[in-house]
A and B are shown apart, each in its own frame.
Chain A
Amino acid sequence: MERKLVSIVETGEVEVKHPKIIIGLPDVGLVGVILANHMVQTMDMKEVGHMESDLFPPLMILHRGKPHHPFRLYRKDDLILFVSEIAVPPIAIYDTAREICEWARNKSASLILPIGGTPIPNRMMIDKPKVFAIPVGDEVRKIVEKFGIDVFEEGMIVGPYARIIAECEKYSLPCLTLLSQSYPNYPDPGAAAATAEVLSKVINVEIDVVPLEEQAEEIRLRMKDLMKRTMLEMERMGKSQEYELPAMYS
């Protein structure tokens, strides 16, 4: 059997009917990672697997004396959550997106929700960042309309989420990417809190944002080095293209 370049290893119970899959990968402002970690902690989600690849940096995380994979899967009820503490290297982006979407297809996911940030230069002047949606599929567009979420109309998205969107388009998988206005270079718990409010309505699960606000300083400090590494990977994958003028015209 041919070995996959990136594969999901299930270590716990993940047999859920039509799960909603939340994805928090290191990206602008680490919005997805901050929100995913927050959900794992406050909702008592259980670790049910991890992703592995020879293309990922060779590292394990030690917490309370126990080794943990840096790219993990969690579950609670019908929610499955992917969270990574390594920025996906550009060479692994295509295979990572393909593997997640193939897995989601096999599980007949009812919704795939990549969570990220969109850089805004004057973020320090904004108290409540806006959250934008990139819907894939008619049913998802209806969800966006129902909750009055602003749609990201024109522009570019670069990185793992771009490939997840592409895979979802290809296989008609329901996908709703949520991007919050965020600091480009600094961990942004405020942006994660803004996304949590929107996500909470979409998945109909209460997410308590108070701890996110209370622990904002600790989160910013602890995420400092991951942000630094993510910046390097974003530079390598050409993330700055997101600032470019849209070439498509009608």
Chain B
Amino acid sequence: MYERRRRRESFFDRILNYFAEIGEEIDELVESMFEAVSFSRPDWDADACCLEPLVHVESTPESVVVTADLPYVENKNDIKINATEDTLEFTADMKREVRFERWGTVQREAAFRRYRKLIKLPEKVVPQEAKATFKNGILQIILPKKFKATPIEVE
């Protein structure tokens, strides 16, 4: 009796694991679909006067390094950065408004005053130990990884 229940449990466990795996695959698929969709949307928001800057995310053995090109940003005090274990968000105010006139099909004007970017980090980081620098218009944020590699000795 006991043996049968255990076998039945393990059978249900397998079914549950199977569905959990399918669930993860669906999550990944949906996530990649959203990434594809987000790529096709404009990287500006005229109502919020915001532009998305060019960013680059790189993973080194020790940390995740994020850089962003921020033309028209002059002072490091105009940059606000927030990070969690998985995400990085920053805004940066431009020293002056950048206007685009007679743009698009409705002869619209757009003015941008700041950059805003939300990045999903490729690995978990320790936000409290992150460091940021701003030089020559390039913002660099170094976020140490939460899980660091363990060295293995060759026998």
Contact = CB atoms under 8 A, between A and B. Distances in A.
Tell me if chain B binds chain A: yes
Interface stretch (B118-126, B130-138, B142-150): B130-138
A124 B72 contact: no
17 contacts: A124-B135, A183-B138, A185-B54, A185-B67, A185-B69, A186-B54, A186-B56, A187-B69, A217-B72, A218-B71, A220-B69, A221-B72, A224-B54, A225-B43, A227-B54, A228-B43, A228-B54
Interface of B: 43, 51, 53-54, 56, 67, 69, 71-72, 98, 135-138, 140
Interface in A140-196: 183-187
Contact of A124 (B51, B71, B136): B136
Contacts of B140: 124
A220 B137 contact: yes
Interface residues of A, number: 16
Given A124-B140, A186-B138, A217 B54 contact: no
Interface of A: 124-125, 183-187, 216-218, 220-221, 224-225, 227-228
Contacts of B98: 218, 221
Interface centre among A125, A216, A221 (most CB of B within 10 A): A221
A224 B137 CA distance: 14
Nearest to A65: B102
Contacts of B51: 221, 224
Contacts of B138: 124, 183, 186
Contacts of A184: 56
Contacts of A124: 67, 135-136, 138, 140
A220 B137 CA distance: 10
Nearest to B105: A62
